[in-house]
Structure 1
Amino acid sequence: MKVTKGYADYITFLFDDEQGSPIISNLLKEEVLIEKCICRVVDTITGYYEKRIEIKDSVILRLDMYAAYIYGGLTITNSVIGYFRLMDGGYNREPIIIRNCVFLGEVDFDESVLKNDIIIEDCIFLKGHDFVEDIRYAVMKDEYFKVKI
């Protein structure tokens, strides 16, 4: 799935079979790339994401990843995010990397379980960053916690 260079009011990750028909399965096997996009809402359906989700050079008012099991990891770079929630999810087999971003509102990692590195570097949090305690609680091993604010 690739969304590039444009405006989208609402992006959600749907699960289809090979013929394009909606299916019951909640496992997305393809990579997701959102690049140079302006979007009001990016919303993941509760599910399992086998490949990396990557957001770069974008502006997103609300990035809501509730109960997303991001096995393939997550990368957010050079983006402006209004509100970000990765709640009741995580379970990443690959790193979560957030770099060179500006967060305008709340950042919520509450009740997530992080099973690999979380790297947050060179970001600006206009509403503060009390989410760090959520992350520290969520990581399965101390060495996974790599936050440099």
Structure 2
Amino acid sequence: MDIVPALVRSTFLVNAVYTESAREYGLTQQQGQLLCVLMAQPYGMGELGTMLRLAKSSLTGLVDRTERNGLVRREPDPRDTRAVTVALTPEGSRLAEDFYTETCRRVERLAVSLEPADRDALAALLGRVVAENEVPLVFLSS
């Protein structure tokens, strides 16, 4: 298989697993991404928009829905009183950890047939592609 179909098909595969996992936790795929990003630390709306590659209005709607579900909260930004940061609530933190752990387990199972050396090589190559294309941090290393 050539590189383009391999990358595109692997994206579909990972997205399907990610979406299924999110659904089982009562989340949309984007809410799952938001929670995973916020596991590292609270972020401002501008930073979140860049990391999740969402327009301001789409991000506002995503944060609004996730906040109504009690998973995130807006807090005043200590560096800029006109801005807010978005942080996980205690419930959001628990759900994010569970979702992240389960999703990692499921994605890891996708490569179960590969030998350890092949898995390491694949991870290294994909890591280079991601780094060279400045993909935002959406999922932490397991």
Name the one with the larger strand percent: 1
Name the one with the larger helix percent: 2
Higher relative contact order (CA 8 A, sep 6+): 2
TM over 0.5: no
**TM-score of the two chains, using structure 2 as the length reference:** 0.26
